[in-house]
Chain A
Amino acid sequence: MSTTTRPREDVVQTSSSPPRPAGSPPTREGGRLRPATGRAIGVGVVGLWLSLIVLLPLAALTVRSLDEGLAGFWDAVTAPVALAAIGTTLVVSAVVALLNAVMGTLVAWVLVRDEFPGKRWVNALIDLPFALPTIVASIVLLALYGPSSPVGLQLNATRLGLVVALAFVTLPFVVRSVQPVLLELDREVEEAAASLGASNGATFRRVVLPTLAPAVISGTGLAFARAVGEYGSVVLIGGNIPRETQVVSQYIQQQIEIDRPVNAAAVSVALLGISFLTLFLLRLWGSRAQRREERSS
């Protein structure tokens, strides 16, 4: 690089030339390294890093799951205990997602529209489940709802225990996605609806809910996706009883333990598929809702 005094083309975003590697922050001083080389190295490093850490393990998992052919994969996923674990996971996650949709919206509503002493503390509590390690969540819930419960509530090794654990770790999703929308919501529209004689229920259904719906659905979907793959928070309170309270992640862990790696890989791929499908549908729905909004405005 002979001239460093010239404006560097690489940072000019307006030029429409095709991908053209040029000088970039990680280039060496003194011009021994051409900018193009620096950028190529950077791209190579990023590609290699992402491949090594993320893509190769997932590729190895997928290939391994097909070690015994498609039939083997199918057998592993449809084994009765595996199917039961998948079923338990889906049912419990769906319940948790619905619980979040209702209670999360309610909590967000109270935190935005209501005033009471100590509200800031309650607001701060909402973030706690994201900050706490999942195994701590497990222990914390066992302390109250476990064998030595001080209130006599024994949820250990029940599906309700799973619901409580997953509700704990997914609490922030809906609350934190609905809260900002509620804050922005124009109260005049609600007042107008009320002054025109709409009942509370009608105002909520026709005015408030349509505005909140995208945020509620996105939070609920994220909570579902998180619940489906959750392990740490259910490992102690869930009981891991096959066909009853064993969730998919526990089943996979068990298959590794009894040295059935192909089964573990196959069910892992199925679980990945469920997570990806959830997030894909969510994104699809989100972009459609956005387009609809753009068209109507």
Chain B
Amino acid sequence: MTTTRRSVLTLRTLALAYVLGLVAVPILVILFRTFEPGLAVFIESIRTPAAIAALNLSVLIVAIVVPLNVVFGVVTAIALARWRLPGKGLIQAVVDLPFAVSPIVVGVSLIMLWGASGWFGGLQSSTGIRVIFGLPGMVIATIFVTLPFVVREVEPVLHEIGTEQEQAAATLGASGWQTFWRITVPAIRWGLTYGVVLTVARALGEFGAVIMVSSGFPGVSQTLTLLVHSRYIDDHNTYGAYAAATLLMGLALGTLLLMTLLDRKRSPR
């Protein structure tokens, strides 16, 4: 299209104003508000016992969710890419389902299944394990929302590498396990790592699904995202909320950076 200098400038200005007004300026404002009183105040705000407990809980949830997602995600990806199964389309649809479900609906569904009056409500009275309003509920909610990531990153890699190397290994006498560890795992490692990074980012940032199944007690069952919410809403501690949000933002930026670097590794072409 032949575009005049003026129309190019107009379009550029509009686009930049939109992106900057929507994303950049609000982030700069919150950074300014956070660090305006000085770094010491910020550090103090994120080192209160409740904040440390929240960070620990968030990390604990990540530490439980990631291994589970890696194991089950890789098995699911292999099943989808390698095995001839009836109803594969159905499995594909179920794997993608969590992307289409609102976080709040995830929370409500888990309450209907695991809650005291839910289908598995008997578990609590018979074993004393509290799923809803306890750590298991928050873990299950996080697994639900992060379930697709590992599968969706590993499955295409498995398709791409094909089966030739695996066949060759088998021909040379490798057992199934040996083929898996020496051929398949090295081939999928970057895809898998990318899936894990996505899982970590989402697990740290999940809010809606987790708040529904958490009792939300400060220092006990608050994750970092719940801490931001409760500081703003319950404590009217706006600065504290800004500081906690800035901490979360730092973690998110770290993962974004990691993703950009991994993306290059993952697809060297």
Residues of A within 8 A of B (CB): 4-8, 10-13, 18-21, 23-31, 35, 38-39, 42-43, 45-46, 49-50, 53-58, 60-61, 63-64, 103, 106-107, 109-111, 114, 116, 122, 125-129, 131-136, 139-145, 148, 150, 164, 167-168, 171, 190, 194, 200, 203-204, 208, 225, 228-232, 235-236, 248-249, 252-253, 256, 261, 264-265, 268, 271-272, 275-276, 279
Contacts and interface: CB of A to CB of B under 8 A. Distances in A.
Contact of A106 (B14, B201, B225): B14
Contacts of B8: 114
A139 B30 contact: yes
B82 A194 contact: no
Contact of B102 (A109, A228, A279): A228
B207 A133 contact: yes
A134 B72 CA distance: 27
Given A171-B23, A200-B3, A133 B91 contact: no
B224 to A, nearest CB: 8
14 contacts: A5-B172, A7-B167, A8-B170, A43-B83, A53-B144, A54-B147, A110-B15, A133-B248, A135-B248, A139-B228, A194-B2, A229-B103, A236-B233, A265-B108
Contacts, number: 296
Contacts of B118: 60, 64
Interface of B: 1-3, 7-8, 11-12, 14-16, 18-20, 22-27, 29-30, 33, 72, 75-76, 78-79, 82-86, 91, 94-95, 97-98, 100-115, 117-119, 140, 143-144, 147, 163, 166-167, 170-180, 184, 201, 204-208, 212, 225, 228-229, 232-233, 238, 241-242, 245, 248-249, 252-253, 255-256, 259
B104 A53 contact: no
Contacts of A232: 103, 207-208, 225
Contacts of B248: 132-133, 135-136
A133 B252 contact: yes
A136 B202 CA distance: 13
Contacts of B171: 5-7
Contact of B144 (A57, A164, A203): A57
B46 to A, nearest CB: 14
B184 A25 contact: yes
Contact of A275 (B15, B16, B23, B100): B100
Instruction: Decide if the interface of chain B is mainly helix, strand, loop or mixed.
Output: helix
Contact of A261 (B95, B101, B112, B252): B112
A11 B163 contact: yes
